[in-house]
Amino acid sequence: MTFKIRNKVAALAAASALVAALSGCGSTPAPGAGGNGGAVERPTITVGTQAFAELAPLHIAIKQGFFKDEGLDVKLTDATGGGAGLITGLVSGNTDVVYSNYVSLIQGAAKGLPLRVIRENDRPGVQALYVKSDSSISKPSDFAGKTIAINGFGNIMELTTRTVLGSHGVSQDQLKFIELAPPQMEAALELGQVDAAWLVEPFVTITTSKGGVKPVVSAFEGPTENLPVAGWSVTDQFAKANPKTTAAFVRAMDKAMAVAVKDKAAVVDAITSYTKIPKEVADKMKPISFAEKSDLSSLSKVQDLMIERGIIDKPINMEQFVVKVDTGAKG
């Protein structure tokens, strides 16, 4: 019997009301000098982010002038509540490009939102379910009946938790979730408000460096091994009205990803510029699986698990969902 996942989609529901209004209009082109021989339609764009270490390439692209070389002036806006917290701003037109996990994006697209993916950002890494060092939880089956902190209901954190623990025999109705912003998860663990937390960097390093937590099970093992994680999204209207701008953004991120993969010092410098993590802690962070080459060919695997877990009822059109960005079109 398919277990219908409880998920919090108020932001997506609010955004869906905008679909009809947006479907008949596109962005107004604005001239801008591109660094590759052509003018971008939107020289100034707003990018939605979160305070995750996985966002280091974006900040590298800004710091090293890759966006400027492409004729883009990037303005940043942060949001809480996981990927869904940024999607409302994207669909409303207040944000042009957002970083989000694919589960939230696919879920939004399944509800009729005009979401499109343009580039991969990161792949599975050190993400796992962490508990206090003195916790009685020592193996996956111990999570039955326990409360787990995730940063958004129905997103990749919930999907991977349900899928991985399900593979270890934990039934879906034995799992409890609470929604918390990642910076709040350490305190919630310490105070006993939650039994476990799905941690991402830099919070894995911040929390584990204090010796107060331990990982119990990876978020990406068994049925979730090599599962696509997160990337960059625009609306269908933005992609169609601004192909040169979209290509310029992707080219800048391509350059930044190459730096991030090869230059840890650049990653550390970037992370310390937009998070509160000290340099000495950032230096200790485990390597992040940045996607130097964007490969969106296996997103159907995410969708299959979402259908299996009841997050969406039927598949979306993946050919339409993934934008084939022509980064070679210079003019």
Q: Tens digits of per-residue pLDDT, 312-324?
A: 999 999 999 999 9
Both 237 and 115 in one domain: the answer is yes
Task: Name which of 59-63, 102-106, 124-128, 141-145 the model is least confident about.
Answer: 124-128
How many domains are there within the chain? 2
Same domain membership, residue 244 and residue 105: yes
Averaged pLDDT for residues 2-20:
43
pLDDT at 275: 85
Residue 2 lies in a domain: no
CA triplet 283, 289, 294: central angle to 5 degrees? 135
Q: Which of 175, 209, 224 is the last residue of a domain?
A: 224
> Which domain, by its residues, includes 88?
10-123+228-321
Interval 51-80 mean pLDDT: 92
Average pLDDT, the chain: 87
Instruction: Output the pLDDT for position 125.
Output: 86
pLDDT digits (tens, 9 = 90+) for 125-176: 889 999 999 999 999 999 999 999 998 888 899 999 999 999 999 998 999 9
Label residue 292 by pLDDT band (50, 70, 90): very high
User: Of 224, 239, 269, which residue constitutes the final position of a domain?
Assistant: 224
| Of residues 4 and 220, more confidently modeled | 220
Residue 86 lies in a domain: yes
With respect to residue 326, please indicate whether it lies within any of the assigned structural domains. no
Residue 4 domain flag: no
Residue 11 has pLDDT above 70, yes or no: no
Q: Which residues contact 227 (CB under 8 A, 6 or more apart)?
A: 124, 160, 220, 301, 302, 305
pLDDT score recorded for residue 36:
54
Q: With respect to residue 215, please indicate whether it lies within any of the assigned structural domains.
A: yes
247 lies in some domain: yes
Q: For 286-315, what is the mean pLDDT?
A: 94
Q: What is the mean pLDDT of residues 210-215?
A: 88
pLDDT value of residue 84: 63
Q: CATH number of the domain that 176 lies in?
A: 3.40.190.10
Residue 106 shares a structural domain with residue 252: yes
Q: What does the CA dihedral 61, 42, 120, 162 come to, rounded to 10 degrees?
A: 110
Q: What is the pLDDT of residue 322?
A: 97
Asked, for residue 1, whether it belongs to a domain, the answer is: no
pLDDT digits (tens, 9 = 90+) for 237-269: 999 999 999 999 999 999 999 999 999 999 999
What beta strand segments (E) does the chain contain? 44-49, 73-78, 97-101, 115-122, 128-132, 147-150, 176-179, 196-199, 213-218, 230-235
Is pLDDT above 70 for 18? no
